[in-house]
Homo-oligomer: A and B are copies of this chain.
Amino acid sequence: MYINLEEMRRFSNECFLALDVPKEEAEIITEVLLEADLREIHSHGFLRLPIYAERIQKGLISNKADISIEKENPALALIDGNYGAGQVVAHKAMEKSIEMAEQSGIGLVAVKNSNHFGITAYYSLMAAKQDKIGIVISNVSPLMPAIGGAEKVIGNNPISIAAPSGEGDPIVLDMALSNTALGKVLFAKEKNQPIPKGWGVDSEGVSTTNPDDVLNGGFLSPVGGPKGFGLALMAEILTGVLSGGHFSKMIPSMYDVKQKQSISHFMLTIDIKQLIPLELYYSSVKQLVSYIKDSKKAAGTEQIYLPGEIEFLKEKRNKETGISIEEQTFRKLNELSKQLNIAELKA
């Protein structure tokens, strides 16, 4: 089911406006969600609109992001998101981080009391589009046990690093620290498909291919075992702990519609040209890309891709064709349109 981009934007913006979200903020949330579906990270796209809407309606996400800067020096800032929409809070925080990097060569913004912010790459790419390197980390509600544990204590905290590449698209890594993202398990459930082995375990710690086993009391598994667990723990420290915000078991699921979430972000920008000339940086990246892409291929491989490259190809294609939406998501979006009394989404 394909949706025209302008129709999707119209629908999403009208939803948020109907929820008393200011126009400028509605547009930011819409663009971040759209970017996810364009890049075919459907788990973080408009699939999430209904739960965002419900949380805004219940006052669990503030309809207006009233952020405050609690601490600030030329290279470091602490922002209280005051429970605004994660997309809006993170967008403002990343703008701040980029601005500080322009001033000081590097800018770190720690954010507390934010919400789920969609795809992490959206924010790191903001830096990469301005000849800077962006590093963005977020915590999320705990999904994984410790190594040797049988209880959710750590999020599959996403990390994104984006580096500009000059004429081409930025190189952008965007990964959750589980073998897969919870959204992909939700997506598999929506599609009534099994999940691959290794994605998660059931409530007793037993490996499963049924998304329901993971969603109902089970756990996602960290990528690479202790390495992924270790990175997830350090991500929790760099986000929830370092911002003075919430972390680990303090953070309820976004599907628990009785409690506010309090998500923290770590947003770092490095202004490349304050270390080395941009020409040198870009010629080095070009050389590195050539080492990778022109390297000897394994049997059966036609092309070697860089992190984010396939997503950029999908984005270009989907900008022409419109984004694809699962039927169940489409149905839920139109249930929402009735409830909010806006024109229904047209496929």
Q: Does A146 contact B (CB under 8 A)?
A: yes
Q: Does A288 contact B (CB under 8 A)?
A: yes
From B173, B243, B276, give the contact of A244 (CB < 8 A). B276
From B274, B291, B301, give the contact of A153 (CB < 8 A). B291
Q: Most chain-B Cβ atoms within 10 A of its Cβ — which of A173, A243, A249, A305?
A: A173
User: A234 → chain B, closest Cβ, in Å?
Assistant: 4
From B104, B236, B244, give the contact of A280 (CB < 8 A). B244
- A236 to B237: give the CA distance in the assembly, Å: 24
Note all chain B residues with C-beta closer than 8 A to A272: 242
Note all chain B residues with C-beta closer than 8 A to A291: 153, 248-249
A145-B295, A284-B244, A291-B249 given as contacts; is B108 within 8 A of A270 (CB)? yes
On whether the beta carbons of B73 and A105 are closer than 8 Å, the reply is yes
A175-B230, A230-B307 given as contacts; is B76 within 8 A of A106 (CB)? yes
Which A residues fall within an 8 A CB radius of B?
Answer: 71, 73-76, 78, 104-106, 108, 110, 133, 145-151, 153-154, 161, 163, 171, 173, 175, 179, 205, 223-224, 226-231, 233-234, 236-238, 240-244, 247-249, 270, 272, 274-276, 280-281, 284-285, 287-288, 291-293, 295-299, 301, 303-307
Query: Would you mind naming 16 contact pairs between A and B with Cβ atoms under 8 Å apart?
Result: A71-B274, A105-B108, A145-B295, A147-B304, A148-B297, A148-B301, A149-B296, A149-B304, A171-B233, A173-B234, A223-B223, A233-B292, A233-B307, A241-B281, A241-B288, A244-B281
